[in-house]
Amino acid sequence: MLDALIVLVLVGFVAVAWHDALTARDLARRLSQRLCAEAGVQLLDQTVALRRLGLARAKDGGLTLRRWYSFDVSTDGSDRHRGSLRLLRGKVEEYSVPQRVTEMPAAPLLH
């Protein structure tokens, strides 16, 4: 009886952890799309990848998971750059997205 209870608790823990990971990844995807739109770049492959997972102390003193995600962007449709996003409790702590560079018109030559 105790063995079945332990197995049930473990299965429940795995299910909760899996659901939390999927929810966090979906949030990271939506946030990366918004950051790319604000930067004027294109999110490639419409996906993010979890690169790192660690424990962090939140402002209230509790332990929580900190997640690092990466994603690929294009500034002009033919290049590929790496963007990143760090989340703590569903809030963006830090991000890096390449900015689209707009060409400045050439200055007229002075004679």
Residue 107 resides in a domain: no
Residue 51 resides in a domain: yes
Could you tell me if 41 and 99 are in contact, meaning their C-beta atoms sit under 8 angstroms apart?
yes
1 or 89, higher pLDDT:
89
Please report the pLDDT score of residue 56 as a whole number: 92
Q: Is the pLDDT of residue 102 over 60?
A: yes
Mean pLDDT on 34-47: 91
Residue 46 resides in a domain: yes
Residue 85 resides in a domain: yes
Range of the domain at 40: 2-96
Residue 39 resides in a domain: yes
Please report the pLDDT score of residue 109 as a whole number: 61
pLDDT per position as a tens digit, 68-94: 999 999 988 889 999 999 999 889 999
Q: Is the pLDDT of residue 11 over 80?
A: yes
Share of the chain above pLDDT 90, in %: 68
Burial class (CB in 10 A: 0-12, 13-18, 19+), 33: middle
Tell me how far CA of residue 77 lies from CA of 41, 49, 80, in angstroms.
9, 21, 8
Total domain count, the chain: 1
CB atoms within 10 A of CB 85: 23
